[in-house]
Structures are given as C-alpha cells and as structure tokens.
C-alpha cells in the first residue's frame, strides 16, 4: 500500500505558515493540520481554569480534563473543539498566543499532544505546520520546509491581519510579542523551534503568497520525483 505523504512546515510566528500550508494542502487535496491551534486550545483551557503557563503541576493535573477534537467544517477550516465546544475564534487573541507559547514549553503538554499529531499523519496525506514537525513530530517526513521572514515583515503582517478583524492593537506591541514568542519557542529545552537538517529554507519576506505556494509545491514535486 502506498504510504501517506507528510509535508512538514515549521517556522517562527507570523511567517505565513498557516495561510501557505492551508493553500498547499487544498491544492494537493491533502489534510491541513495547524498544530499551533492545538497548543492554543490547551492554553485556552488552562486560562479558563485560572492556571498559569509556568504552573507545571497545575497543568499536568488539568490535562486529564482536556478533550481536544479537530473537526473540519464545511468551510474547509480546521475547527478546534475543547470538551465539546467550538473554541476556534477564542484561541486567536494575542493573550492566547502568549499562553500557547507558554504551555508549549511544558513537556507534559508536548507528550500529551504528540500521538494525536502523529495519528493524523498515519492515516492521511498531510500538510502539517508548527514548530517541531520536521524535527520531532514527523522526523521521517519526506518533505520539510522551514518557512521564515524578517521580524519586521512578520509583525507587519500580523498587525494588518488583526486590524482587518477590527481589533484595536498597536504595531509596537505586536512586534514585541513576536520577538518574545520567537525567543521563547527557540530557546525552550524541549522541542525548540529549529530548522531540521534536511529542511528547505523558504524566506517569504519579499514573496507573495502565490509565489511561496508555487515554490513549496515545486519542492514537493521534486521530492516526489526523486
Ligand atoms: O503557530 P501558532 O502561532 O498558532 O502557535 C502558537 C504557539 O504554540 C507557538 O508560539 C508555539 C506553540 N507551538 C509549538 O510549540 N509547537 C508546535 N508544533 C506548534 C505551536
């Protein structure tokens, strides 16, 4: 039987991973898995419980009560279900970005989510985006991309995305959040954000979405032909 193909896309916050990965997945007919949304959902649960991102014992205790399900809606989007409720919108605030990055540094959280992510890749062709997909979750993925962009460009994109949604945010705050989150994600002891040795680096700073999608599809085609 033909094995399922996994495309791993890692990179820092705001590099355009989800937009690009969603497009590539839809054009190839693969399942798109946004793993950041899974960490955000855990972070959201902890914040509802009043548990801070550094409270290892509290987080470990509360993980037993976390039932996460991913549903793919008719809109084609990945919906995050937390204990039966759709929390897709609630997990997208700057507070939940920071909370997700915090709980993601806890080994109990990473262990808890590892199998869930691997199971999706075992039963589907996937484009999976995150921070440790090519290095830890799917180290044997035949296609690995490290998608990055300069800090300024990433902050600018995030600022435009949030203001377009009507959120009242300051560019300086977004920039500081991005730099802080990168530092936290790159310097944690477990599964830090790293470019896998066999990943292809794509810098999206001066490329359009269409150009990045085309570049990644070309990389996938080349790997498939190799
Ligand atoms: O991709 P995102 O911004 O939605 O991710 C939110 C946070 O979750 C990110 O700052 C770090 C964490 N994360 C992670 O540690 N590992 C992943 N595979 C995906 C996200």
* The pLDDT of residue 163: 94
**pTM score, two decimals?**
0.94
Q: Which of 35, 80, 158 to mutate to test the pocket of ligand 1 (most atoms within 8 A of CB)?
A: 35
Average pLDDT over residues 59-75: 92
Please give the angle made by the CA atoms of 135, 137 and 139, to the nearest 5 degrees.
Answer: 50
Closest residue (by CA) to atom 11 of ligand 1? Answer: 101
CB-ligand 1 contact for 36 (6 Å cutoff): yes
Mean of per-residue pLDDT scores for the chain: 95
Q: Which residue has the tokens 């902050």?
A: 155
Q: What is the pLDDT of residues 19-57, one digit of tens each?
A: 999 999 999 999 999 999 999 999 999 999 999 999 999
Measured in angstroms, how far is the CA atom of residue 101 from the centroid of ligand 1? 6
Q: How far apart are CA 119 and CA 92, in angstroms?
A: 25
- Domains recognised in the chain with CATH numbers: 6-220 (3.40.50.300)
Q: Which residue has the tokens 């896998």?
A: 196
Closest residue (by CA) to atom 5 of ligand 1? Answer: 36
Q: What is the pLDDT of residues 120-136, one digit of tens each?
A: 999 999 999 999 999 99
Q: Are 105 and 188 in contact (CB under 8 A)?
A: yes
* The pLDDT of residue 2: 58
Q: What is the pLDDT of residues 142-170, one digit of tens each?
A: 999 999 999 999 999 999 988 998 989 99
Q: How far apart are CA 89 and CA 68, in angstroms?
A: 15
CB-ligand 1 contact for 196 (6 Å cutoff): no
Closest residue (by CA) to atom 2 of ligand 1? Answer: 36
Please give the angle made by the CA atoms of 171, 44 and 174, to the nearest 5 degrees.
Answer: 5
């Amino acid at each position: 039987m033909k094995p399922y193909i996994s495309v791993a896309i890692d990179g820092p916050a705001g590099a355009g991973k989800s937009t690009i990965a969603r497009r590539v997945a839809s054009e190839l007919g693969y399942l798109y898995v946004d793993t950041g949304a899974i960490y955000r959902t855990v972070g959201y649960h902890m914040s509802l419980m009043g548990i801070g991102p550094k409270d290892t014992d509290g987080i470990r205790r509360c993980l037993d009560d976390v039932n996460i399900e991913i549903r793919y809606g008719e809109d084609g989007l990945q919906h995050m279900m937390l204990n039966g409720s759709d929390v897709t919108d609630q997990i997208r605030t700057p507070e939940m970005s920071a909370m997700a990055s915090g709980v993601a540094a806890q080994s109990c959280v990473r262990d808890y989510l590892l199998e869930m992510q691997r199971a999706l890749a075992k039963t589907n062709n996937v484009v999976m985006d995150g921070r440790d997909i090519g290095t830890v979750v799917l180290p044997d993925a035949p296609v690995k991309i490290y998608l990055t962009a300069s800090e300024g460009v990433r902050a600018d994109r995030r600022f435009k995305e949030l203001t377009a949604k009507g959120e009242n945010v300051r560019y300086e705050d977004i920039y500081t959040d991005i730099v802080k989150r990168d530092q936290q994600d790159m310097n944690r002891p477990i599964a830090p954000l790293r470019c896998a040795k066999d990943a292809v680096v794509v810098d999206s700073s001066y490329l359009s979405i269409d150009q990045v999608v085309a570049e990644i599809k070309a990389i996938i085609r080349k790997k498939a032909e190799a």
